[in-house]
C-alpha cells in the first residue's frame, strides 16, 4: 500500500504583489512629475510589469537596493521615452520613501486566509524586505498580521530570494519539512522556481496571466489556493 501524501502543514506567502498592492501608479506618476518627467500612470504600470518580468528572469547585478534603482530607471526611461540616469531613479525612490502610504490588500487576500487558517496549519510570510519588523508593520496596518505565525524577512535573515536558503530558514522556524509546505508568490523565478528548488510545493500567482501554466503551476487569484492545497495533499505535482 503506497504511503499517504503529507499534509500541507504550512502555507507561505510573498508580500508585495501577492498580499499587498505594492505600487499605486497614479501616485507614482505624480511623484515622477515632481522630477519633471511627463509620464502617465498607465504607461508606468505597463512598463513596470515588463521590466519586472525581465529582471525576474535575468536579475541585474548588485544588491536589493541596486536592483530597485535599476528597475525604476528602466521603467521611468521607458515611460518618459528617453534614457535616464540612475540618479533620477534614486531621487524618485527617495521621494516615495518619504511619503506615508496606506496599505492596500488585494481583494482576494482575506477570503483566502480565512479559508486556509486552521489549528494544524501555519501561515507565514517570506519577503525580500528591510526587516521582519517592517513586514510586521505592513501586515498590521493592513489588518492581517493576526493570521501569520511567522514572518521571515531577507533583511533579518541575511538571505534574499531567489536564494533557497531563505525558504529553508522559514521551514526551520516553522518546524515543517519541505514537502509539508506550500509557497505562493507573484514572480515566476524569484518566488515560485526558487521555492521549488528548496523542495516546497509552489504556486505562481500571475494576476495578469491566464492561469494555464503548469511548470510552475500558475494561478490568477489567491482564491484558488485552498483547492490546490487539497490537490497537493492528494499527490498532484
Q: Tell me which residue of 9, 10, 13 sits closest to 129, measured CA to CA.
A: 13
pTM for the whole structure: 0.93
Q: In terms of DSSP H, where are the helices of 35-158?
A: 41-57, 64-80, 86-98, 109-116, 132-141, 154-157
DSSP codes joined into one string, 156-174: HHS--TTSTHHHHHHHHHH
Is residue 22 within 8 Å of 135, Cβ to Cβ?
Answer: no
Which tens digit of pLDDT belongs to each residue from 132-181?
Answer: 999 999 999 999 999 999 999 999 999 999 999 999 999 999 999 999 99
pLDDT interval class at 216 (50, 70, 90): very high
Q: What is the pLDDT of residues 82-120, one digit of tens each?
A: 999 999 999 999 999 888 788 999 999 999 999 999 999
Is a pLDDT exceeding 60 seen at residue 214? yes
**Nearest 5 degrees, angle CA 101-CA 104-CA 105?**
150
Rounded CA-CA distance 81/84 in Å is 9
Distance CA 146, CA 102 (A): 18
pLDDT tens, 30-42? 999 999 999 999 9
Burial class (CB in 10 A: 0-12, 13-18, 19+), 15: buried
Residue 100, pLDDT score = 78
Amino acid at each position: 500500500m503506497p504511503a499517504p501524501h503529507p499534509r500541507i502543514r504550512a502555507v507561505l506567502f510573498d508580500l508585495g504583489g501577492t498580499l499587498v498592492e505594492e505600487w499605486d501608479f497614479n501616485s507614482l506618476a505624480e511623484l515622477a512629475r515632481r522630477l519633471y518627467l511627463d509620464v502617465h500612470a498607465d504607461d508606468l504600470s505597463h512598463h513596470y510589469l515588463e521590466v519586472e518580468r525581465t529582471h525576474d528572469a535575468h536579475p541585474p547585478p548588485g544588491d536589493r537596493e541596486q536592483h530597485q534603482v535599476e528597475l525604476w530607471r528602466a521603467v521611468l526611461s521607458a515611460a518618459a521615452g528617453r534614457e535616464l540616469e540612475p540618479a533620477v531613479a534614486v531621487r524618485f525612490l527617495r521621494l516615495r520613501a518619504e511619503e506615508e502610504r496606506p496599505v492596500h490588500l488585494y481583494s482576494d487576500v482575506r477570503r483566502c486566509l480565512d479559508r486556509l487558517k486552521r489549528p494544524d496549519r501555519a501561515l507565514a510570510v517570506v519577503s525580500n524586505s528591510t526587516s521582519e519588523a517592517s513586514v510586521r508593520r505592513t501586515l498590521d496596518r493592513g489588518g492581517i498580521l493576526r493570521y501569520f505565525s511567522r514572518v521571515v524577512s531577507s533583511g533579518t535573515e541575511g538571505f534574499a530570494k531567489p536564494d533557497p536558503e531563505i525558504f529553508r530558514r522559514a521551514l526551520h522556524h516553522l518546524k515543517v519539512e519541505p514537502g509539508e509546505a506550500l509557497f505562493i508568490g507573484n514572480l515566476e523565478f524569484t518566488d515560485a522556481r526558487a521555492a521549488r528548488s528548496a523542495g516546497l510545493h509552489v504556486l505562481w500567482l500571475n494576476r495578469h496571466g491566464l492561469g494555464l501554466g503548469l511548470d510552475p503551476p500558475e494561478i490568477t487569484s489567491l482564491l484558488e489556493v485552498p483547492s490546490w492545497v487539497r490537490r497537493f495533499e492528494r499527490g498532484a505535482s
